[in-house]
Structure formats: structure tokens, C-alpha cells
Amino acid sequence: MIIKAELKDADIVKKIAAETISAVYPHYYPEGAVSFFLAHHSQEHIVKDIEEENVWLLVTGDGSYAGTVTVNGCEINRLFVLPEYQGRGYGRELLDHAEAPVTAEYDRIELSASLPAKGIYLKRGYTSTGFFMIDTENGDKLCYDYMEKKVCK
């Protein structure tokens, strides 16, 4: 089940993002880039998005929180599934949920894709529209693609 996050859920959203980044991203990125990701998905940003009613949580059948996604206009952000819940279709469920309101209003969906997520988005029909590098701590680089998916109306 996917529910709209409320302010009381900010810690849960932060926990999902931080635990997923900490477990998955070190396999793809250097330490400085991982630190950047963790700081980028700060409590402040999460609270702002929740206040704007843009954040969703995936709750499993036993009531556990397994994932989150944020939708800002035509852009999908902060899609994370806790590592212990990955491979069960929860990411697909969150992406389906996030795409629905975007496709109803816009002619395209946009997102920034981290290295571990890029393949998933390519399989879903997204194309890369730009490749970016950010300088982070210790001279490390954070690389990601900006992607979009055209919506047929």
C-alpha cells in the first residue's frame, strides 16, 4: 500500500533514504559522493517536500515501511527501497505510483538517475538527456544522468 507521507513520517523517509544510500551507493561511488548524497537528502529537504504534499511511503502487508518516492511537478525524486525489500517489485510499484499523476498533467517525466538506478529507468523507457559530474569531498566525483520519458497522450 502506498500512502501520502505526513510530517510525523519525516524520520521514516530520512531513514529509508539514508539506509539505502549507505548500503547501496558505496558499491558505485567513492566516499565523498556517498556523503554528498546523504547530505542532499537532508531532513530539511524531506520536511519541505512533505509540507508540499509531494512525498509517498510504501507500506508492506505487515505494516513495515519499505520505500519512498517524491514527486515535484513533472520530476520524480528520492525513490528509495530499503535493501532488505529490494527485488520484490516495490520499486516498480513506487515508480508506477509516481508516474501516474505526472502523466496526467505533463507530456514528459524527468528525473536524476544515480548509477545503481540508471538501468532500471532505461528498462522503463527513460532516455538520458544529460550526464553530470559534481565535485564532492576529497576530490571525489558524483556522476549521474538526467533522464526523461515522453508521455503519449
Which tens digits make up the pLDDT trace of 61-91?
999 999 999 999 999 999 999 999 999 999 9
Q: What pLDDT is recorded for position 122?
A: 95
pTM of the complete model: 0.92
pLDDT at 153 over 70: no
**Residue 131 contacts residue 97 (beta carbons within 8 Å):** no
Domains of the chain: 2-106 (3.40.630.30)
Q: Mean pLDDT highest for which of 46-55, 114-123, 129-138?
A: 46-55
Q: In 15-115, at which residue ranges do the beta strands (DSSP E only) sit?
A: 55-59, 65-72, 75-81, 108-113
Residue recorded with cell 553530470? 132
Which tens digits make up the pLDDT trace of 5-25?
999 999 999 999 999 999 999
